[in-house]
Amino acid sequence: MKLGPAHDRVEVIAGLDISLSAGRTLGVVGESGCGKSMTALAIMGLAPKPHAIGGELRFAGQDLRAMPDDARRQLRGAEMAMIFQEPMTALNPVVPVGVQIGEMLIVHEGASDADAARAAVALLERVGIADPARRARASPHELSGGMRQRVMIAMAIACKPRLLIADEPTTALDVSVQAQILDLLLELQRDTGMAMIFISHNLGVVSAVADDIMVMYAGRAVETGPAQLVLTAPAHPYTAGLIATLPDIGHRQKILPVIEGSPVNPRNRPPGCAFAPRCKLVIPDCRAAVPPMVALGPSQRAACIRVAA
């Protein structure tokens, strides 16, 4: 995927191979700017214009790249929904939350205003908001951060989508509220069987919800595999570094380990492995060519020549 006008395109995402089936959750992990959110926006069809997407993008058998804009719009919200990091700014400050939820049904299912209002109250109740009839009339600023994120979720599940993309849904929330929101998402997924893409820079949060994990670095996947395997036996040095940065309850550490250096700018990506400048295991061959994804057993894959060797 490339962004920018034709004469000045920058490749921001490359070589991603994701597949996700109903009822499964894919956790996407990586530092800020690694292309997690851009991947989500590309799937939704909301990536900033102008842009160019190569390869294949299929949803329930349909080729999304070939789909006209209006068909794509009808898919958004109805079949694939997205929730965002900051529920304060992601909700319209001047529209009552019940109306913001209800309009999903008006637009996608042709519901009447009265039916939509009733459905909004039911959805608010479904996401665990007390006194939903009164809260439906409230403006976003009258609700707490956790409640606002519940409103976002109610909005996203209003039309029972087959895919829910959650982009850092708990990052802006208190730790105790984070757990409640994660529980809610998992519970909804169990009930509806929707597939979920869960994006976070926080490996700990992802490990709590994901079946599979994809670790991204500089616009590419560097490791994919079942969550259990990736977390306990990371193959890529970057994944191992991320896991090492997790604070460990029970072990008092004075200083949390960090990965030295900062992510690369997509405009001047080094010729070889993008992680090479920060990698402790780097050898000269790392800088020669972009390492391909290699299978390590039946399900785990990593893009590192040290692992393949």
Residues forming the site for other proteins (CB under 8 A): 44, 46, 73-78, 81-82, 84, 86, 89-96, 103-104, 107-108, 139, 141-142, 152, 155
Q: How far apart are CA 306 and CA 283, in angstroms?
A: 8
Residue 261 C-beta: closest distance to other proteins, Å: 30
Residue 95 C-beta: closest distance to other proteins, Å: 7
**Nearer CB in complex with other proteins: 32/92:** 92
**Nearer CB in complex with other proteins: 44/117:** 44
What one-character-per-residue DSSP string does 71-113 give? Answer: HHHHHBTTTEEEE-S-HHHHS-TTS-HHHHHHHHHHHHH---H
* SS3 label, residue 243: helix
**Nearer CB in complex with other proteins: 73/278:** 73
**Nearer CB in complex with other proteins: 2/73:** 73
Q: How far apart are CA 212 and CA 28, in angstroms?
A: 9
Handedness of CA 32, 34, 39, 45 (dihedral sign): positive
CA distances from 98 to 86, 118, 137, 150, 272 (A): 18, 9, 6, 12, 51
**Nearer CB in complex with other proteins: 108/301:** 108
Residue 108 C-beta: closest distance to other proteins, Å: 6
Neighbours of 185 (CB within 10 A): 25
Q: How far apart are CA 11 and CA 105, in angstroms?
A: 37
Beta-bridge partners for 163: 80, 195
Residue 166 C-beta: closest distance to other proteins, Å: 12
Residue 89 C-beta: closest distance to other proteins, Å: 4
Residue 144 C-beta: closest distance to other proteins, Å: 12
**Contact between residue 29 and residue 224 where contact means Cβ atoms under 8 Å apart:** no
Beta-bridge partners for 51: 3
Closest CA to 152 of 131, 134, 173, 169: 169
Strands 25-29, 212-217: pairing kind: parallel
CA distances from 251 to 247, 254, 255, 256 (A): 8, 10, 11, 11
* SS3 label, residue 268: helix
Residue 84 C-beta: closest distance to other proteins, Å: 7
**Nearer CB in complex with other proteins: 142/187:** 142
Residue 59 C-beta: closest distance to other proteins, Å: 13
**Nearer CB in complex with other proteins: 95/289:** 95
**Nearer CB in complex with other proteins: 12/104:** 104
